[in-house]
Structure 1
Amino acid sequence: MKVDLKVALIGNPNTGKSSLFNALTGMNQKVGNFPGVTVEKKTGLAKLPEGRTAQVIDLPGTYSLYPKSKDEAIVLEVLADTQNSGHPDLLIFIADASNLKRNLLLYTQVADLKIPVIIALNMMDMADRNGIRIDIDALANKLGVRIIPISARNGKGIMELKQAIAEANHIPLQADTIDLDSLYPGLITRIIQDVNVSNPYLALQLVYQYPYISYLKSEEIEKLKQLEKEYDINPSKAQAKETIARYEFINDVLYDTVQRDSKPSQENYSNRIDKILTHKFGGFAIFLLILFLIFQAIFTWAKVPMDLISNFFVTLTTLLSDHLPPGPLTQLITNGVLPGLSGVLVFIPQIAILFIFISILEDTGYMARVTFMMDKIMRKVGLNGKSVIPIIGGLACAVPSIMSTRSIENWKDRIITILVTPLITCSARLPVYTLLISLIVPQRMVWGFISLQGIALMMMYLLGFFSAFTVAWVMKKIIKSGQKGYFIMELPVYQWPRWKNVGLTMLQKVKAFAFQAGKVIIAVSIILWVLASYAPPGRFAEIEHYYKTQRSDKSVSASENDRLVASAKLEASYAGILGKTIEPVIRPLGYDWKIGIALITSFAAREVFVGTMATIYSADGDSHHQEAILQKIKNAKNPNTGLPVFTTAVGFSLLIFYAFAMQCMSTMVVVYKETNALKWPVIQFLYMTGLAYLLSFGVYQILK
């Protein structure tokens, strides 16, 4: 699709930037990284009036162009570098109408960069309820910029904003907001002469922040260092001096344009709710109750759609088996790819329910309160309060959560947060947990409405938090640093969730899980099927000959004989050889060679464990459509003892193993990129795998 202009959304955190992004782009969204860095960016297409189309980029939220984290640093870099793929033709500055003074600090900095700007004055409905009256025309005249009042949550003003974007060619550049040359007389002229830059404010930013700007050439950095020394520049003092000048300008602008005629009733309402939800004792009890309800819903609400997905794959497998010509390709599809896919995709309803709840908690403002409450615990285990965001984010995925540690200035706190975040139960563990819990915990309701399986799942999530905090406390004693961290966070007012936003978030997360997991599962399923279907020359022929001539036991039915042949072939295959090789190592944990294969394959991604077990048990004997995979796994017998393979001891041992083991290659790669050192992912892999082995060994030995 042809793109007519590139638009970037910029604003403070909690101003409704993500809501506006969703309102402008709808389902035309994708997530990627900015070129050269692993900071996540969201992009989307917005259809404008007059048949025009804009590419919309959602920049990380920031309070200022002076970065305190890597996420914030990317904002200046995108705006300053005209060669950056994210450099916009137009900026949409999202301002919170109920907190305009604070928001305008960033606006004045952006305006001085001389990129065309439209102000989207968001949360006008909240400003009205709080008694704030804004003369929009007068404010627009004083700032010299077009202002569109909107309410992104309710969709008000979105069409007017799209019309303004479509008319972007007619937007005049803003006048200077402060006297830049007075900050360091003569400096701007020197920078413009020595470095290839024409904008005065950008010139100042380059000399203040050249260590954070990657696109500068080495000779330019040397010239900036010389100027910094020559003019005796202190970036902190310069920022403070500039900020004072900007607030003088802002106060003058707001004096005649903004009035407050009543008390902020909604904020008072939020404060009254906070007295209950963030109470030092009651707050945690309420949080645990919410978790309890979420995990009960995951097991009870998801049952019907999970059954539908499972039945669909069973029907599809039967259909293909009956109509495709016999041969390796048909067996690959029916006994390899489809069982692997169905083994994971069947858990999509549970993942969707989890993200619906997480999105609702974020949208209402409650998740920010959880972050605030958890800060108290973080301090006790020696972490920075900003570690809360990655820890909570780990419920979804450790990869973006580890990337979000860039907001932590303290090196020690950041390293410890990176090392413990993968212990938090992520969405990739959910299919593994639900499969194992379904095998070993009875599907029983207590008091008619409490699911035992839901309680077990909640316990696994709480174990993730407990283990992360415990390991963080130990690492605090081991890793030394003299830096001190701090935690500043603005609590948004409580609001009703935007159901469209909840739906979009859920669809994005499910889509990401399905496609990312699907790629790995298909690749692993194909490799695994090949390993399970082929053996060293002559091995399969020996097995067939043995069962045809030696095992002429008339008491064994033909179908049972076929199952025994298939099971023996699987054991003799390359997959069986691989499993048998590592079986002595994992036998003390209660695992057989089939589980060993799943442990190996799931190092690519944890959820592959489920697909691998489905593929193995499809290849082992009966055809896929005769018996559900879960039932086949549940009925699996140990050939030596005749007892079930998945006993209570084995099931809990596996749960503990997957709770602690570092089985995610993507996470290890991100840890390496974020720390820029190989030793940290190696340390992480060794301590997590060591904990997983020792603890699962202990659990199995106690319960067997």
Structure 2
Amino acid sequence: MTSSALHLGLVGNPNCGKTALFNALTGSRQKVANYAGVTVERKEGRFVTPAGREVVLLDLPGTYSLRARSPDEQITRDAVLGTLESECTLDAIVCVADATNLRLMLRLVLELKQTGRPLVLALNMYDIAKHRGIDIDIDKLSGELGIPVVPTVAVRRNGTDALLALLDKMAPDKVVAAAAASANSWAAPDAKTVRETHRMADLILRDCVTRPEDGDEWTARLDRVLLHPIWGIAILLGILFLMFQAVFSWATPLMDMIGAGFEWLSALVQTALPDGLLRSLISDGIISGVGSVLVFLPQIVILFLFIILLEDVGYMARAAFLMDKLMGRAGLHGRAFIPLLSSFACAIPGIMGTRVINSWRDRLVTILVSPLMTCSARIPVYTLIIAAFIPRGTVFGVVDRQGLVMFGLYAAGIVSALSVAMAMRLFFHRHASEPFIMELPDYKLPSVKNVAWGVIERARIFLRRAGTIILSMMIVIWFLSSFPAPPPGATEPAIHYSLAGMIGHAVEPVLEPIGFNWQIAVALITGLAAREVAVAALGTVYAVGGESGGSLTQILASHWSLASGLAFLAWYIFAPQCASTLAVVRRETNSWRWPAIMFAYMLAMAYIAALIVYQSAVYLGG
């Protein structure tokens, strides 16, 4: 970029479509990192306007005010004020507003005007506003605010043309001069100033925006049902139940195809290569290990399809509202719902998402319980064991039996997280916190493009893990399972004399009371790199051990008891099987104390739960 490039910052409320506009403008020219010294994500993109103007665009964290009560909001405030040391001074700010719901954004615009920075207001989702009969007098709104106002539709082609045309008129030298000439009069507002700003925003809204009398009729009708204290909770549980039913029902044909493909590939290698280390590495190590994880890709895709659809349609905020009272009883702040919900995908973004919680105690409790939520990395483990020990079929002729068990495992994770949070209240005195306030977006049809990109990105992340962490771990496990060679006259399979066999047999006595054999011990140790590595490790260990007949599901069904399989599921509800999560907790808390406490309490809970399940199953004949 040349020195004449225009440096812009995107600022907006949560759920205003800011990220969609950022993606529409920058496309693939994006760079994601963290700000220096903090874990707040930094997203920068670059693009060229139709007239050839080079632009550097910074997507700042969402905020309702510059008061900055969380690390995310502090980054936005400091970037706007030009006091963020790691960031160059912004030439101008593009305020992104949801055109269907302008009130809170107008208050933020009035705050931003006090900073002296040149502003542009982009009315995003303008097409939805027009469709609902909302009439916005853009020229009058621009006159009353004293800033340019343009309509945008981030999810449609040519939906950013008006904004790009405006940017072409903003010469960088003039913008910088204007910014330098304007006095920064902003100060953290007190309660009186906030009320005055709200009143001013309401006056502007009344003068410039006309809404149809029945404009919110459908939203109100839906919310009367979806936010009902009884029916709303029942519908939320029904949606979650449907999600996990679909994870099994819809994914099975594709999983069978992928599994058959890897079996064919393994047979091809067995035929094409002579017996030896190379054939064993490719067939038993790479194909059996990585293939045993990749077969679960369809389930990952279906899970995220549901999550992204629900977020796009506007239901996630309603789910947070419904869960607020329940979470409050468990000692969690209402804002903890979004981080915990994110932990269904992965605990890492969930833990990082706790930055929206103002109280350090509330944030710490949320961090410590987030890994108990069932992340997508557990899906390969759960699916493998369920398929091996829970027969296919339906309950009452309708409900898929395996999907019902999966739903139960997810429910167990949620209940355990809330229970641990309640217990932590004994150790962390919780002061009275502010009420949970969240803007409920209007319902809207999801964007096919955004949903597709979101699902593809999650699939890419899963495949990237399979091609890096899992692949490298499989090579290590294959080596440990193949060397040293068995001594002359050995009577047991060669793997028993290998390094993996030695490690597994050394740990086995500790795990024997919970029904785990030495192969499981190897899987648990290597699974510390990532939860799904345990599945790949089992595939490699059994393949190197000569168990190549049939799928890994069939192998486990013939070698494990039902009690061991159920204990393994219980272990994985609680076990801290992810080094990356512990590293993020260390970074977020700036101490090794809290990841150590997390690891210890989760390991203890996993062992106790597996012990109870195994001994109970054995007593009952399993």
The answer to whether TM tops 0.5 is yes
Q: Gaps (5+ residues) in structure 1? A: 178-196, 209-234, 548-564, 637-644
Name the amino acid aligned to 2:412.
Answer: L
Query: Does residue 632 of the first structure (1) align with residue 572 of the second (2)?
Result: no
Q: State the secondary structure of the residue aligned to 1:15.
A: coil
In structure 1, what is the equivalent of residue 495 of structure 2? 570
The structure-2 alpha-carbon separation of the partners of 1:96 and 1:546, relative to structure 1 and needing over 3 Å to count, comes to closer
Looking at structure 2, the residues matched to 49 and 423 of structure 1 have their Cα atoms a distance apart, in angstroms, of 49
Name the amino acid aligned to 1:648.
Answer: L
Query: Does residue 582 of the first structure (1) align with residue 507 of the second (2)?
Result: yes
Query: Does residue 687 of the first structure (1) align with residue 601 of the second (2)?
Result: yes
How far off is 1:9 after superposition? 2.0
Q: State the secondary structure of the residue aligned to 1:98.
A: coil
In structure 2, what is the equivalent of residue 430 of structure 1? 379
Query: Does residue 289 of the first structure (1) align with residue 238 of the second (2)?
Result: yes
How far off is 1:384 after superposition? 1.2
How far off is 1:299 after superposition? 0.6
In structure 2, what is the equivalent of residue 609 of structure 1? 534
Query: Does residue 122 of the first structure (1) align with residue 121 of the second (2)?
Result: no
The structure-2 alpha-carbon separation of the partners of 1:477 and 1:170, relative to structure 1 and needing over 3 Å to count, comes to closer
In structure 2, what is the equivalent of residue 260 of structure 1? 210
Looking at structure 2, the residues matched to 605 and 261 of structure 1 have their Cα atoms a distance apart, in angstroms, of 51
The answer on whether the counterparts of 2:574 and 2:603 sit within 8 Å (CA) in structure 1 is yes
The answer on whether the counterparts of 2:94 and 2:122 sit within 8 Å (CA) in structure 1 is yes
How far off is 1:295 after superposition? 1.0
Looking at structure 2, the residues matched to 172 and 138 of structure 1 have their Cα atoms a distance apart, in angstroms, of 25
Deviations along 1:615-646, one digit per CA (max 9) or x if unpaired, are 111111155xx53333233333xxxxxxxx2x
Pairing partner for 1:417 from 366, 376, 389: 366
Name the amino acid aligned to 2:240.
Answer: L
Q: State the secondary structure of the residue aligned to 2:106.
A: helix
How far off is 1:243 after superposition? 4.4
The structure-2 alpha-carbon separation of the partners of 1:622 and 1:464, relative to structure 1 and needing over 3 Å to count, comes to closer
The structure-2 alpha-carbon separation of the partners of 1:170 and 1:482, relative to structure 1 and needing over 3 Å to count, comes to closer
In structure 2, what is the equivalent of residue 620 of structure 1? 545
In structure 1, what is the equivalent of residue 65 of structure 2? 64
Looking at structure 2, the residues matched to 315 and 115 of structure 1 have their Cα atoms a distance apart, in angstroms, of 62
Looking at structure 2, the residues matched to 649 and 406 of structure 1 have their Cα atoms a distance apart, in angstroms, of 41
The answer on whether the counterparts of 1:143 and 1:174 sit within 8 Å (CA) in structure 2 is no
How far off is 1:456 after superposition? 0.4
Alignment of 1:513-552 (within 5 A): 513-535=462-484, 540-542=486-488, 545-546=489-490
Q: State the secondary structure of the residue aligned to 2:375.
A: coil
Looking at structure 2, the residues matched to 584 and 252 of structure 1 have their Cα atoms a distance apart, in angstroms, of 73
How far off is 1:39 after superposition? 1.3
In structure 2, what is the equivalent of residue 648 of structure 1? 562
In structure 1, what is the equivalent of residue 352 of structure 2? 403
Q: State the secondary structure of the residue aligned to 1:121.
A: strand
Looking at structure 1, the residues matched to 441 and 137 of structure 2 have their Cα atoms a distance apart, in angstroms, of 24
The structure-2 alpha-carbon separation of the partners of 1:198 and 1:311, relative to structure 1 and needing over 3 Å to count, comes to farther
The structure-2 alpha-carbon separation of the partners of 1:678 and 1:657, relative to structure 1 and needing over 3 Å to count, comes to same
Looking at structure 2, the residues matched to 139 and 599 of structure 1 have their Cα atoms a distance apart, in angstroms, of 61
The answer on whether the counterparts of 1:378 and 1:385 sit within 8 Å (CA) in structure 2 is yes
In structure 2, what is the equivalent of residue 136 of structure 1? 138
How far off is 1:433 after superposition? 0.7
The answer on whether the counterparts of 2:373 and 2:414 sit within 8 Å (CA) in structure 1 is yes
In structure 2, what is the equivalent of residue 9 of structure 1? 10
In structure 1, what is the equivalent of residue 159 of structure 2? 157
How far off is 1:447 after superposition? 5.0
Query: Does residue 699 of the first structure (1) align with residue 601 of the second (2)?
Result: no
Deviations along 1:668-700, one digit per CA (max 9) or x if unpaired, are 112122222322211111111101101110100
Deviations along 1:569-608, one digit per CA (max 9) or x if unpaired, are 1011000000001000001110100000001111111111
The answer on whether the counterparts of 1:317 and 1:334 sit within 8 Å (CA) in structure 2 is yes
Looking at structure 2, the residues matched to 439 and 55 of structure 1 have their Cα atoms a distance apart, in angstroms, of 53
Looking at structure 1, the residues matched to 31 and 613 of structure 2 have their Cα atoms a distance apart, in angstroms, of 43
Query: Does residue 306 of the first structure (1) align with residue 255 of the second (2)?
Result: yes
How far off is 1:153 after superposition? 4.3
Q: State the secondary structure of the residue aligned to 2:281.
A: helix
How far off is 1:140 after superposition? 2.8
Looking at structure 2, the residues matched to 52 and 310 of structure 1 have their Cα atoms a distance apart, in angstroms, of 51
Looking at structure 1, the residues matched to 384 and 45 of structure 2 have their Cα atoms a distance apart, in angstroms, of 36
In structure 1, what is the equivalent of residue 524 of structure 2? 599
Deviations along 1:93-115, one digit per CA (max 9) or x if unpaired, are 11222333431232233344444
The structure-2 alpha-carbon separation of the partners of 1:494 and 1:675, relative to structure 1 and needing over 3 Å to count, comes to same
In structure 1, what is the equivalent of residue 99 of structure 2? 97
The answer on whether the counterparts of 1:653 and 1:699 sit within 8 Å (CA) in structure 2 is yes
The answer on whether the counterparts of 1:78 and 1:84 sit within 8 Å (CA) in structure 2 is no
In structure 1, what is the equivalent of residue 311 of structure 2? 362
In structure 1, what is the equivalent of residue 585 of structure 2? 671
Name the amino acid aligned to 1:32.
Answer: A
Deviations along 1:163-195, one digit per CA (max 9) or x if unpaired, are 434554379649999xxxxxxxxxxxxxxxxxx
Q: State the secondary structure of the residue aligned to 2:546.
A: coil
The structure-2 alpha-carbon separation of the partners of 1:529 and 1:275, relative to structure 1 and needing over 3 Å to count, comes to same
Name the amino acid aligned to 2:558.
Answer: N
Alignment of 1:60-459 (within 5 A): 60-79=61-80, 80-81=82-83, 84-85=86-87, 88-128=90-130, 131-155=133-157, 157-169=159-171, 173=175, 200-201=183-184, 238-240=189-191, 243=194, 258-260=208-210, 262-263=212-213, 265-324=214-273, 327-446=276-395, 448-459=397-408
Looking at structure 1, the residues matched to 169 and 256 of structure 2 have their Cα atoms a distance apart, in angstroms, of 51
In structure 1, what is the equivalent of residue 419 of structure 2? 470
Looking at structure 2, the residues matched to 493 and 407 of structure 1 have their Cα atoms a distance apart, in angstroms, of 22
Q: State the secondary structure of the residue aligned to 1:478.
A: coil
The answer on whether the counterparts of 1:44 and 1:56 sit within 8 Å (CA) in structure 2 is yes
The answer on whether the counterparts of 1:144 and 1:174 sit within 8 Å (CA) in structure 2 is no
Looking at structure 1, the residues matched to 399 and 172 of structure 2 have their Cα atoms a distance apart, in angstroms, of 62
The answer on whether the counterparts of 1:423 and 1:659 sit within 8 Å (CA) in structure 2 is yes
Looking at structure 2, the residues matched to 699 and 250 of structure 1 have their Cα atoms a distance apart, in angstroms, of 59
In structure 2, what is the equivalent of residue 49 of structure 1? 50
Deviations along 1:361-417, one digit per CA (max 9) or x if unpaired, are 111111111110100101111221111111211111111111111221222222211
The structure-2 alpha-carbon separation of the partners of 1:279 and 1:176, relative to structure 1 and needing over 3 Å to count, comes to farther
Looking at structure 1, the residues matched to 178 and 194 of structure 2 have their Cα atoms a distance apart, in angstroms, of 14
The structure-2 alpha-carbon separation of the partners of 1:397 and 1:86, relative to structure 1 and needing over 3 Å to count, comes to farther
In structure 2, what is the equivalent of residue 216 of structure 1? none
Looking at structure 1, the residues matched to 255 and 64 of structure 2 have their Cα atoms a distance apart, in angstroms, of 44
Looking at structure 1, the residues matched to 170 and 478 of structure 2 have their Cα atoms a distance apart, in angstroms, of 56
- Is the deviation greater in 506-515 or in 80-89? 80-89
Deviations along 1:485-538, one digit per CA (max 9) or x if unpaired, are 431111111111112111111111221222135322122112111111102xxx
The structure-2 alpha-carbon separation of the partners of 1:437 and 1:241, relative to structure 1 and needing over 3 Å to count, comes to same
Looking at structure 2, the residues matched to 106 and 445 of structure 1 have their Cα atoms a distance apart, in angstroms, of 53
The answer on whether the counterparts of 2:8 and 2:91 sit within 8 Å (CA) in structure 1 is yes
Q: Gaps (5+ residues) in structure 2? A: none
The answer on whether the counterparts of 1:116 and 1:171 sit within 8 Å (CA) in structure 2 is no
Looking at structure 2, the residues matched to 8 and 307 of structure 1 have their Cα atoms a distance apart, in angstroms, of 47
The answer on whether the counterparts of 1:6 and 1:88 sit within 8 Å (CA) in structure 2 is yes
How far off is 1:660 after superposition? 0.6
Alignment of 1:10-49 (within 5 A): 10-26=11-27, 31-46=32-47, 48-49=49-50
**Count of paired positions:** 616
Looking at structure 2, the residues matched to 689 and 86 of structure 1 have their Cα atoms a distance apart, in angstroms, of 45
The structure-2 alpha-carbon separation of the partners of 1:373 and 1:611, relative to structure 1 and needing over 3 Å to count, comes to same
Deviations along 1:131-187, one digit per CA (max 9) or x if unpaired, are 54322223334444332212334556323333434554379649999xxxxxxxxxx
The answer on whether the counterparts of 1:429 and 1:606 sit within 8 Å (CA) in structure 2 is yes
The structure-2 alpha-carbon separation of the partners of 1:170 and 1:448, relative to structure 1 and needing over 3 Å to count, comes to same
Deviations along 1:262-310, one digit per CA (max 9) or x if unpaired, are 32x3423212111111211111111111112111111111112212222
